Amino acid sequence: MQHGLNYDVAHMLAGGLVLVSFMMLYQVRLSSLLRVFAAHAVVLALSVAWQAYVQGAPHLFVTAAIALLFKALVIPVALNRIIVRLGIYREIETVFGIGLAMLVGMGLVALSMALMLRVTAEATPLAREDLAFALSVVLLGLMMMVTRRNAVSQVVAFMSLENGLILAAAGAQGMPLVVEISVAFSVLIAFIVIGIFLFRIRERFDTVNVQALDSFRGERS
């Protein structure tokens, strides 16, 4: 029966991650988007920690700790300070409406379920479900990156996408280098955030709207 519990908890946490990804889709304010993202990272940390416990792989606890400290705490706080300083605390625009975004998101989840469950017929049920959920989170993150036009929310979308990858890596039984990969990703994200900080995209462009940046293209001047 122990196996059943292991499976159920892992299933619940991974499903929770997909759910939080959906919640991010309809956040129209940057501040609330950051809070939901922090929740996303907490769920990821729990999920990875559970995998560490189930697989008896103590090194995964490091990955969980990184997720908890870095992504649920440091990054949201830093980004929050940025958006307060830039005065873009309130509205963010989406390219298409919330209803449509949710529908497309549901389609993507259905797609990844259909795809992964069919392809991974030989793997263990735990790994299969985890991988299917992970692909859903990745696809939802990708969709968010495409639909958001704001630099900060693109970063948040990228981080949610990356959470999906960490989930997949943790779910793959005994995969080496997971810790190294999560560290490498953290460095990457730290670079992005520092980049936004240092270059103060707003000062340069007067807006963090990526669409406005397009007008600077050398081709059109």
Residue 154 found at the interface with other proteins (CB under 8 A)? yes
Q: How many residues make contact with other proteins (CB under 8 A)?
A: 47
d(CA 204, CA 191): 18
Binding segment (CB under 8 A) for other proteins, from list 15-23, 69-77, 93-101, 213-221: 213-221
Nearest Cα residue to 67 out of 37, 42, 33: 42
How far apart are the C-alpha atoms of 7 and 17, rounded to whole Å?
Answer: 15
- Residue 198 has which token pair? 């240092």
91 vs 219 by CB, closer to other proteins: 219
State in angstroms the smallest separation of the CB of 31 from other proteins.
Answer: 22
207 binds other proteins (CB under 8 A): no
Q: Does 113 bind other proteins (CB under 8 A)?
A: no
Q: Note whether 213 binds other proteins by CB under 8 A.
A: yes
Which is closer to other proteins, CB of 1 or CB of 11?
A: 11
Q: What are phi and psi of 29, to 5 degrees?
A: -110, 140
Q: Note whether 169 binds other proteins by CB under 8 A.
A: yes
List CB contacts of 142: < 8 A, sequence separation 6 or more: 157, 161
The 8 Å CB, 24+ separation contacts for 99-102 are: 101/25, 101/26, 101/143, 101/147, 102/22, 102/25, 102/26
Residues, the chain, total?
221
Q: Is 120 in the site for other proteins (CB under 8 A)?
A: yes
Residues in contact with other proteins by the rule CB under 8 A: 115, 118-123, 127, 131, 134-135, 138, 142, 145, 151, 154, 158, 161-162, 165, 168-169, 172-177, 180-181, 184, 187-188, 191-192, 195, 199, 201, 204-205, 210, 213-214, 216-219
